[in-house]
Amino acid sequence: MAQIEQSDKGKKKKGAQKKMSIHVDFTPMVDMNMLLITFFMLCTTMIKSQTLQITLPTNEKIEQQDMNKAKESEAITLIVTTERDAEGNVKRDDEGRPMNVVYYYEGQPDLTNVVDGKLANNNIHKEAFLGNDGAVQRGIRKILHDRNKQVLEKIDKLKVQWRNKEFSPKSETNDSIYQAKAKEIRNDSTLTRPVVIIKATPEASWESLIGALDEMQINQISRYQIDNINQVDSVLILDYIGKNGK
C-alpha cells in the first residue's frame, strides 16, 4: 500500500542523494472512518428529550376550611379528552391531527334549572387544540390568552426589552434578569390572572394532557393544577354531548 517511488529520471549527478517521494494510500483508512461515522450517526440521539416539571398537590386529606379555594371569577376548568374509535385508537381529523378536545367552564359548574332531564344552564363549552395561526391564537389557546391578557401584555413588553438587551449587554445576565422579572409578573396578584384546573377523562391521551400543561407555559399562567375528574364534570359533558352531538 505504501509506495516509495524513485523520482530520478536518470539525469541527476551521480553521488547525489536519491530523492524519495513517499505515498501512503489512505483509501482503507477512509473506508474504515466512514464506517465508524455511519455507526455513530445511526446510534446517537442528537436531540435530548425535554421535560415539563409539574407539582401535584398532596394526597393527604385537607380540611375543608383550610383549602385554598380558587376565586370563582378566576377559576377556569379544562377537561381534556380524546376521541377514540371502538378499538381504542385515537381518531384523527382530516389533517391527520389527533382529535384532542377540551371542554371548559368558567367558575362553578351550573347544575341548576333542569328541564326535561337536560341542564338548561349548562355552562360547559367545547374547544380544540389549534395552536397559532400566524400571530393569532386559536382554539383553547385564545380563551386562555384572553383570560391572562394583563400578564401577557406586560410580558410582551418585557420581551421587547429583553430582545434589545436593555437589562444588560451580557446575554446571560440579560436572560436571568428577564426570567426573574417575568416570574414576578406571572405571580403579580394585582393583575387578574386565571386559576386553571386541568382534568382529564380516562380516555384522554397523554398527549392531550401534556398539551394542556403546555398551554399554561405558552400563556404564562402560573396557577394551575391537575385534578381528578368527578361526577359533576361527567354529567356536564354527557349533557353537552346529548345536546350538541360529539
Binding site for other proteins (CB under 8 A): 23-27, 29-30, 33-34, 36-37, 40-41, 43-59, 80, 82, 88-90, 98, 131, 200-211, 213-214, 217-218, 226
Cβ-contact 176, 212 below 8 angstroms:
no
Q: What are φ and ψ of residue 79, in 5° steps?
A: -120, 110
Nearer to other proteins by Cβ, of 120 and 210: the residue is 210
Copy the grid coordinates of residue 204: 384522554
Question: Shortest distance, CB of residue 145 to other proteins, whole angstroms?
Answer: 14
Q: Which residues contact 24 (CB under 8 A, 6 or more apart)?
A: 1, 2, 3
Question: Shortest distance, CB of residue 151 to other proteins, whole angstroms?
Answer: 17
Nearer to other proteins by Cβ, of 24 and 120: the residue is 24
Query: How many Cα neighbours within 13 Å face the side chain of 74?
Result: 16
Q: Which residues contact 147 (CB under 8 A, 6 or more apart)?
A: 76, 194
Question: Shortest distance, CB of residue 3 to other proteins, whole angstroms?
Answer: 8
Nearer to other proteins by Cβ, of 148 and 205: the residue is 205
Strands 132-133, 136-137: pairing kind: antiparallel
Question: Shortest distance, CB of residue 209 to other proteins, whole angstroms?
Answer: 6
Does an H or E element contain 179, and which? helix 171-186
SS3 101: strand
Nearer to other proteins by Cβ, of 119 and 197: the residue is 197
Nearer to other proteins by Cβ, of 35 and 120: the residue is 35
Cβ-contact 98, 91 below 8 angstroms:
yes
Question: Shortest distance, CB of residue 83 to other proteins, whole angstroms?
Answer: 12
Question: Shortest distance, CB of residue 147 to other proteins, whole angstroms?
Answer: 19
Nearer to other proteins by Cβ, of 158 and 209: the residue is 209
